Structure 1
Amino acid sequence: MTSGAREIDLATWSRAGQFNLFRTYDRPHFATTARVDVTALMTKGKPAGVSPYRAFIHAIGAGVHAVPALKMRFEKDRVLEYDSISLSATVPRPGESFGYAYIPYFEDWDRFDASCKAIIEETAKGTDLGANTGQRFDVAYLSCLPWIDFTALDNALPGPDDCIPRFSWGKFVEASDGRWSCPVAVQVHHALADGLQVGQFFEAAQASLDRFAKA
């Protein structure tokens, strides 16, 4: 048993059939892009000093931790569900470069924000890429594309057994009615997640963003 994780019993797991099927595919991943509402973040949170970048990382973390399938990883025939998933975000650096940060998720926003800010600042000053070379599975990959209001996105993947989900968000756009939104792309391994779980992720992430309406 891996520390901080429980092993899934494939004999009783309701998705064992899907797991066994989609693991045989050459391209077992699927990506979904949808718009989320960031009006509360931009009109209430940001004027109050909230970083939209860090708030979005937190919202993705909330979405991941609300959906057990997004905390599952597999190694061969062994499936583990981790208690907590770290958020590996791309952090810009000088020279059109970036580094990977590893940010622990805390439900409490103030605690998360302080930790996230310190880790991002440290990563921005570093020189090592910090790429995960396969030693960690208790992570989710995050990237921000603030220059593009994209309608779809696909990620580079090392192979069909890579089961770490990817989350990307794009440019914040204001509509004529004053509402703000942005695209969010979610890429998952079909052996572990279906459209239902992706929908649950969007619901939880949206709820996290909406709470800034009280700022």
Structure 2
Amino acid sequence: MSVFVHMLLSLLVVLCSFRLNDVAEACSCALSHPQDAYCNSDIVIRAKVVGKKLLKDGPFGTMRYTVKQMKMYKGFNKMQHVQHIYTDASESLCGVKFEVNKYQYLITGRVFDGKVYTGLCNFNEKWEKLTLSQRKGLNHRYQLGCNCRIKPCHYLPCFVTSKNECLWTDMLSYIGYPGHQSRHYACIQQKEGYCSWYRGWAPPDKTIINTTDP
């Protein structure tokens, strides 16, 4: 083998490696507090995945999951009942993988042309892994904070700059993400438009909130 051919093959291997790395790292998501995930989603449901089918559309296809909806927390204005969840079949393109006939999941997503789409950048979690505070947040507390802004703090110093902000400092903790605020707190709008972190077994105003458990 000539030196030129050897160099050419080496270059092709390097280029292919870069290409594979690009594909593997194509899905990049900013960290999001569960409350933001709730407020920014069209649909929020608890459901069990009971089937899946690969649809041959696009370069990698689309995975269609059939779900049994247990409860809808948000999205009544979009649809009354969710039967299918769509996601990219490739994880490199942010497709999410659900296990069939095994777990109940919290699933969040957006609605396009009457279909619910989700992905790795949405908040999807096994129901059993959610904390009690997160479940209560889905029931009522997160909705109270959709006019608030959760401001991430990655490096000190960091400050709130308006009355409707809550400073999110989970990323500073040695525990990492998801941290204490993600798992146990909601940023709720209080009197005079001020927003602050709230944790407690009773909601701040029992006269306007349904306090039933999830």
Return the TM-score normalized by structure 2: 0.23
Higher RCO (CA 8 Å, separation ≥ 6 residues): 1
